[in-house]
């Protein structure tokens, strides 16, 4: 019996190169509607401009885009109440995938707003803090950032030096945070600081005297995303600026787990864009008298890319279902982030080879996605940190120190 596709029964659905495993079957109509809305928004509002923004290293329409993302329910999408959409984890993941298929910088804006800043306030904030910040953040009127990393403390945030000291009923905050997405454009910064009671989170209005957020320039990755330092010099905060529900590193780590989940999906969006670009190019670019997609070596690359891309999407979907069922463990998120970002970068690198010299041009999205993914590989836990998380879970032995 032949093993070629011609042996397929005529009653089978046709093979779809865009969805070779038929994973679309896993989605509900509502899931598809969310996906299509985000895909259309990105096609209309991001794709026509992204190469120009990337080259300039700017996101000039950032505030306008944020408000539009708010109006389509993409900010704090899987949170409930306070103007948030209350979408499922799978729907939030699909949104991340579609946004990152446009650019990782846009997905980062949404992840930091929803999964880090809003999630921290939603999960650990007082009712007053939630009422004050969340509806405006869900609408995109106020941008949030999340300050955990410091110049000397990245993978090991337990060593942080930023310190909040009580002064009467106030807090006085001193320290520096580094590599903070949305920092210079934020209206509220969720800042994690050492206190006499352990690590606490603070909702800091960025207009507070002593707070500044100089933008970090000269990045060769995530160029269409604002990245900043946070400088806190005797920032005086009222007693109610502290998030009452979080003491210790568990607070920020649970926010990171939520954001990493979005990256599991998002990275596959960047990979999909690179794959589609390479597939189209392989079909049309001719060398030695025929399309390069007709050469076995190119087909091997495309087949391997498609396998990793759609395995990654299946993995993301599986984790999404576990999250919706309240059964997703942080180690499983590490599994997904480790695999999907690593594979997404490999897919982009292979796509770049298929495009030859054109692969390095901003006329095509491939190199932009590849360089973006270098940041995604590092933030929200480096590859090595997720290997150590999994290594510890597998062996029961802690190799972090």
Ligand X SMILES: Cc1cc2nc3c(=O)[nH]c(=O)nc-3n(C[C@H](O)[C@H](O)[C@H](O)COP(=O)(O)OP(=O)(O)OC[C@H]3O[C@@H](n4cnc5c(N)ncnc54)[C@H](O)[C@@H]3O)c2cc1C
What distance lies between CA 318 and its chain's CA centroid?
Answer: 18
The residue behind tokens 């923004």 is 53
Instruction: Note whether 173 and 209 are within 8 A (CB).
Output: no
Of 11-19, 144-152, 206-214, 324-332, the window that binds ligand X (rule: CB under 6 A) is: 144-152
- Interface with ligand X in residues 145-184 (CB under 6 A): 146-149, 154-155, 179-181
Category of 86 on φ-ψ map: left (φ > 0), alpha (ψ -120 to 50) or beta: left
DSSP string, 257-299: HHHHHHHHHHHHHHHHHHHHHHHHHHHH-EETTEEGGGSHHHH
Instruction: Note whether 185 and 62 are within 8 A (CB).
Output: yes
Minimum CB distance to ligand X smaller for 294 or for 391: 391
Minimum CB distance to ligand X smaller for 149 or for 332: 149
Closest approach, Cβ 217 to ligand X, in A, equals 12
Minimum CB distance to ligand X smaller for 195 or for 378: 378
Interaction between residue 220 and ligand X (CB under 6 A):
no
SS3 10: coil
Minimum CB distance to ligand X smaller for 254 or for 378: 378
Closest approach, Cβ 213 to ligand X, in A, equals 11
SS3 195: strand
Q: And the tokens for 46?
A: 């991001």
Minimum CB distance to ligand X smaller for 50 or for 313: 50
Interaction between residue 111 and ligand X (CB under 6 A):
no
Residue 209 backbone phi and psi in degrees, to 5: -55, 135
Q: How far apart are CA 147 and CA 219, in angstroms?
A: 19
- Which is catalytic among the residues 150, 229, 343, 380? 380
Of 79, 97, 75, the closest CA to residue 24 belongs to 97
Residue nearest to ligand X (CB): 154
Of 140-148, 201-209, 239-247, 271-279, the window that binds ligand X (rule: CB under 6 A) is: 140-148
Interaction between residue 202 and ligand X (CB under 6 A):
no
Interaction between residue 143 and ligand X (CB under 6 A):
no
Of 30-38, 296-304, 327-335, 375-383, the window that binds ligand X (rule: CB under 6 A) is: 375-383
Interaction between residue 54 and ligand X (CB under 6 A):
no
Please list, in sequence order, all residues whose beta carbon lies within 8 angstroms of the beta carbon of residue 57, skipping any fewer than 6 positions away.
217, 219, 223, 224
Q: And the tokens for 312?
A: 């990654």
Interface residue with ligand X, options 120, 263, 375, 377 (CB under 6 A): 375
Minimum CB distance to ligand X smaller for 140 or for 293: 140
Closest approach, Cβ 395 to ligand X, in A, equals 15
Of 31-39, 69-77, 284-292, 382-390, the window that binds ligand X (rule: CB under 6 A) is: 382-390
Interface residue with ligand X, options 195, 208, 247, 382 (CB under 6 A): 382
Is 98 assigned a catalytic role? no
Give the number of residues in contact with ligand X, rule: CB under 6 A: 19
Minimum CB distance to ligand X smaller for 17 or for 159: 159
Q: How far apart are CA 123 and CA 250, in angstroms?
A: 12
What distance lies between CA 191 and its chain's CA centroid?
Answer: 19
Q: How far apart are CA 244 and CA 132, in angstroms?
A: 15
Q: And the tokens for 128?
A: 């007053």
- Interface with ligand X in residues 222-281 (CB under 6 A): 222, 227
Known catalytic residues?
380
Residues near ligand X, by CB under 6 A = 112, 146-149, 154-155, 179-181, 222, 227, 375, 378-379, 382, 384-385, 400
């Amino acid at each position: 019996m032949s093993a070629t596709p011609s042996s397929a029964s005529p009653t089978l659905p046709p093979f779809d190169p865009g969805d070779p495993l038929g994973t679309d079957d896993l989605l509900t109509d509502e899931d598809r509607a969310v996906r299509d809305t985000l895909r259309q928004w990105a096609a209309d509002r991001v794709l026509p401009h992204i190469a120009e923004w990337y080259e300039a290293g700017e996101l000039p329409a950032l505030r306008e885009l944020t408000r539009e993302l708010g109006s389509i329910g993409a900010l704090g999408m899987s949170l409930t109440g306070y103007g948030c959409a209350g979408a499922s984890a799978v729907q939030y993941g699909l949104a991340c995938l579609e946004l990152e298929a446009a650019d990782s910088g846009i997905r980062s804006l949404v992840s930091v707003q929803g999964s880090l800043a809003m999630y921290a306030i939603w999960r650990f904030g007082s009712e007053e803090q939630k009422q004050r910040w969340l509806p405006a953040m869900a609408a995109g009127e106020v941008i949030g950032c999340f300050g955990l990393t410091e110049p000397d403390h990245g993978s090991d945030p337990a060593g942080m030096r930023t310190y909040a000291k009580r002064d009467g009923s106030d807090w006085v905050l001193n320290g520096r945070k580094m590599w903070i997405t949305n920092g210079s454009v934020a209206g509220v910064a969720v800042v994690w600081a050492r206190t006499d009671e352990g690590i606490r989170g603070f909702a800091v209005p960025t207009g507070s005297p002593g707070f500044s957020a100089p933008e970090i320039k000269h990045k060769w990755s995530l160029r269409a995303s604002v990245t900043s330092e946070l400088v806190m010099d005797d920032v005086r905060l009222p007693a109610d600026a502290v998030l009452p529900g979080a003491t210790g590193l568990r607070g920020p780590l649970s926010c990171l787990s939520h954001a990493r989940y979005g990256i599991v999906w998002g990275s596959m969006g960047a990979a999909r864009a690179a794959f589609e670009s390479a597939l189209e190019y392989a079909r049309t670019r001719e060398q030695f008298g025929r399309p390069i997609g007709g050469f076995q070596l190119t087909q091997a690359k495309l087949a391997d890319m498609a396998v990793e891309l759609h395995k990654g999407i299946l993995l993301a979907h599986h984790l999404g279902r576990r999250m919706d069922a309240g059964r997703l463990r942080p180690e499983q998120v590490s599994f997904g982030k480790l695999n999907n970002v690593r594979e997404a970068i490999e897919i982009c690198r292979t796509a770049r080879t298929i495009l030859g010299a054109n692969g390095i041009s901003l006329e095509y999205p491939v190199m932009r996605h590849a360089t973006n993914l270098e940041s995604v590989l590092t933030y929200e836990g480096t590859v090595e940190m997720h290997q150590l998380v999994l290594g510890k879970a597998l062996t029961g032995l802690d190799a972090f120190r």
